[in-house]
Amino acid sequence: MSDRASDRTSREPSDPGDIGRRVALQRERLGLTREEAASLAGMAPGYLAYLEEHPASPSGPALLRLAAALETSVDWLRGGGTGRPPGRGVPAHHPELRELDPDECRAHLSTHGVGRVAVTTSEGPAIVPLNYQVVDDEIVFRTAPDATPAAAVGHEVAFEVDHVDEAFRRGWSVLVVGPARAAGEEEAARLADLTPYGPWAGGERDLWVIIRPERITGRRIHTGG
């Protein structure tokens, strides 16, 4: 590969679709309609709509005009700063925090596979991330008998799952509270059949823990994007 081609490749975004998300976010921050932003950038509103809704890689001149119209930089539109820890950016335009109803909470729980369980150990409170699955409306995870998550057995615990959309500055979280118990031998075998993949941490983790939700709540930060 030539130096010119290599340099061109290094400047291209790893995920062109993120450009549209960032364009929509910045336009929303400025309170501009698509028509207003397109006019400022000297492009057709239809093209801007396509750019915001589909993966695309606009030309350099188009990005320059768009960055100027949106009072930002080409580097930011291309994804500069994506390595920054989540939550460090400014809030979205007119964010709205609302409660999720139980059905929405359950729907969100079923979309993820990593959550956090809060337990009390001999050394004090602990919050541990782990792989989980929803089976028969209960939270199920595997651990080792001597591992921290095993402290959940026989106690009321809290289990939390969340999702952060950094580009749009929005997200949601779900909290489940309820008693945890160890699965019996037959029940553990059934769960093993239903969950063919193992925990990311690896190792021998033969203790199946089941949390029965008695209280489930959630919140969502919504934006116009």
11-42: pLDDT as tens digits: 433 344 578 888 888 888 888 999 999 999 99
Q: Which of 174, 181, 200 is nearest to 112 (CA)?
A: 174
Q: In 5-137, at which residue ranges do the beta strands (DSSP E only) sit?
A: 96-100, 114-121, 124-131, 133-135
Residues of the chain with pLDDT under 50: 1-16, 225
pTM of the full structure: 0.65
Residues of the chain with CATH 2.30.110.10: 96-222
**Which CATH code, of 3.40.50.620, 3.40.50.11540, 1.10.260.40, 3.40.50.2300, is assigned to 3-77?**
1.10.260.40
Contact 140, 134 (CB under 8 A): yes
Give the pLDDT score at 88: 65
What is the β-pairing status of strands 133-135 and 138-143?
antiparallel
Residues of the chain with CATH 1.10.260.40: 3-77
Architecture of the CATH domain 96-222: Roll (2.30)
Quote the CA–CA distance of 198 and 141 in Å, as a whole number.
10
Residue 13 tokens read as: 């975004």
**Dihedral sign of CA atoms 30, 31, 34, 40 in order:** negative
Quote the CA–CA distance of 22 and 46 in Å, as a whole number.
17
Quote the CA–CA distance of 224 and 173 in Å, as a whole number.
19
Contact 151, 158 (CB under 8 A): no
Give the pLDDT score at 91: 67
